Amino acid sequence: MPEGHDGETALTPEAIAEVRSRIGQIYPAKPWWNVATSDVIRHFAEGYGDHNPLFRHSDYARQTVFGRIVAPPTFLYCAISAGGGTGGIGLPGAFAVQRSDEWEFFSQIYEGDSISGIRRLVSLEEKDSRWGGRIAEETMRTDFYRNGREHAATLLSVSIRSDRRRTREVNEKVVREPSLPVIYSDEDLDNIAKLYDAEEIRGGKARFFEDVQLGDSLGVIVRGPLSVRDIIAWWMGRGAPYMKSYGFWHDHVVRSPGIGIINPVTNVRESPEAAHFDEELARRSGMEGTYDVGMLRVALCSSLLTNWCGDHGVVKRLKVWLDRPHYCGETAWITGSVTGKTADGDVAVSLEMKNQADKVLTHAEGLIRLPTKANVNSSPISTI
């Protein structure tokens, strides 16, 4: 086992300077899936609880204007989820928390398409925070491609990097006190179940641009209570870049010694993802307990949009701010409304995700292209 690395990288001036020297360099993304087969798309959709039949059922999709399964907008996360997610910019072992993801989509992804991407670090800024002391805020840009040539989307992802040791010192009280479980009554669980059963998926019934009014509700969806099972299901569909088995994990640690988090009880190195499902490792990272994955929350927001716009609508833009962690045991309610209409036929929307204590977990903005009554029967368009 490599010596001198404990998975708690310090953000030294030298480390920051080295990373800054790589700003603008282009790195190939490593996809979890190279080809968007029907099974791959279905597993991704089911990994974040999306029941939309356009993403999951071939018989249904063949009857639509597309003639085949369509991937959810955030399916392109799969193109960056086989490791090297930071483009090789450095700071292995530094704790990372997503702050925001901003998507712009130019083309839909269909069953049978190949996916790829390139990544670059756009900026790295040092800041002070109450949560992690001295932190580094990094902005990564990823450009995604369909079938090797068509520009499908751009993602600007902002993350906070800190070293776990310093974060524990700043959050000493949080680290010492385990999080209390959320207790649900039978009535609470029945109300959640009713919302699952009542979830509306627009599907093949076109929602026309002309019929949409400012202030219209996008409806509500519920997701939770969040469990480790949900987080594992997300990784099964999207991919988990550092969760490798046996000798593959050993080889990875040898190549990147700082990548592992050392379990203080067993002295065994765990993958960075372990902080999401291991209570002790989560608290050693400055969290109150086990918690969700930021990309998963972005995908949940996209569910509300695709449910509302139906098969004939497409999501053009989606920006999601992750306001606080979504801890295991919490339930999330996602709501939204129409905030504007453009001359080009697009609808602007806002979204909000709150937990059972009415705390805002996430807020978001989106732009959706809806059909008009004059063009609803036109041929499907792959480019948005």
317 φ, ψ (degrees, to nearest 5):
-145, 150
**160, β-bridge pairs:** 97, 137
Nearest to 210 by CA among 10, 375, 321, 44: 375
Express the helix, strand and coil content of the chain in percent, nearest 5 each: 30, 30, 40
> Does pLDDT of 324 surpass 70?
yes
Q: Percent of the chain scored above 90 by pLDDT?
A: 62
Q: How confident is the model at residue 174 (pLDDT cuts 50, 70, 90)?
A: very low
Is 119 within 8 Å of 140 (Cβ atoms)? yes
Query: In the prediction, which pLDDT does 283 show?
Result: 82
As a whole number, the mean pLDDT across the chain is: 87
Q: What is the mean pLDDT of residues 135-147?
A: 92
pLDDT, one tens digit per residue, over 62-88 is: 999 899 999 999 999 999 987 654 445
Q: What are the domain boundaries of the chain?
A: 13-369
- Taking each helix axis from N to C end, the angle separating 228-238 and 38-47, rounded to the nearest 10 degrees, works out to 160
Is 253 within 8 Å of 242 (Cβ atoms)? no
Q: Which pTM value belongs to this model?
A: 0.90
Query: In the prediction, which pLDDT does 175 show?
Result: 46
Q: What 3-state class would DSSP assign to 260?
A: coil
265: CB partners within 8 A, 6+ apart: 280
pLDDT, one tens digit per residue, over 269-296 is: 888 899 899 988 888 777 888 999 999 9
Query: In the prediction, which pLDDT does 166 show?
Result: 62
Q: How many angstroms separate the CA atoms of 272 and 303, rounded?
A: 27
Q: How many angstroms separate the CA atoms of 94 and 182, rounded?
A: 30
CA distances from 89 to 24, 139, 371, 373 (A): 10, 11, 42, 49
> Does pLDDT of 49 surpass 80?
yes
Q: Percent of the chain scored above 70 by pLDDT?
A: 86
Q: Which CATH superfamily is domain 13-369 in?
A: Hotdog Thioesterase (3.10.129.10)
Is 322 within 8 Å of 362 (Cβ atoms)? yes
Is 367 within 8 Å of 347 (Cβ atoms)? yes
Instruction: Give the full edge-to-edge strand order of the sheet including 95-105.
Output: 26-28, 115-129, 133-146, 150-162, 95-105, 314-322, 360-369, 346-355, 332-341, 217-223
Cβ count near 247 (within 10 Å): 8
